[in-house]
Amino acid sequence: MPMPTRIAVRSAALAAGLVLAGGASSPARADLVFLTTGRVVSVEALESVDAKRIRLVLRRGGEIVCARALIARVAPDELSRTLPAGPVVQVQLPAGSPGGLDAITDIIDAASARHGVDRTLLRAVIEVESAFRTDAQSPEGAMGLMQLMPATAAEYAVGDPFDAAENVEAGTRHLRRLLDRFEMPVALAAYNAGEGAVARFGGMPPFRETREYVARILQLIQ
């Protein structure tokens, strides 16, 4: 049985055309594959399975085999080339967090279990968003532990966005929905900059703030 042809995704034009002829080559970076289902995955290579199917070799491990027709387009994953190297940082819940440290920890762990969002990721998002302050409010109007914007709070029927339980429940549900739609880096970018920005730029927005936000969270959960 012949081995599948493996290529690195070297350019959007090459990948979008799914030109898979030629020998194998080692991937130099990752790219984002946009599927017609709306899902976005970060890959390090494509493998031709047969005339109708493609194997996506995921950057974070694992593989997906899908129909060629499901691939809408491929674009460079700029984040994979711009994330700064840094030491592993343990996520620490700060002493003196308004609302009570133990209560916040319990709320985070419960929301994590209910919605299947890793609690380390959830804590990292809250650390970056609000430094675990229930009373945090941004100049743009984001509120509470997970910095819910008014529209997001309304979407999830939040009565008091400064209530730790309500805020974390809504923020976790929103993050879960984004993780179901996008690979983690893009989901985090969508949480920060909005799904509209991700849709407008076809992936990771070019905003420095968003890229630094994603990088900080990924460093925290390493």
What is the set of active-site residues? 129
Adjacent-strand bridge partners of 41 = 33
Residue listed under structure tokens 């990721």: 121
Category of 197 on φ-ψ map: left (φ > 0), alpha (ψ -120 to 50) or beta = alpha
Adjacent-strand bridge partners of 42 = 32
d(CA 61, CA 39): 17
Number of H helices, E strands in the chain: 9, 6
The token duo for 131 is 């430094």
Strands (DSSP E) along the chain, which ranges? 5-8, 31-35, 40-48, 53-58, 63-67, 71-76
- Cβ neighbors of 5 (< 8 A, separation 6 or more) are 20, 21, 22, 23, 24, 47, 48
Burial 87-120 (b: 16+ CB within 10 A, else e): eeeebeeeeebebeeeebeebbeebbeebebebe
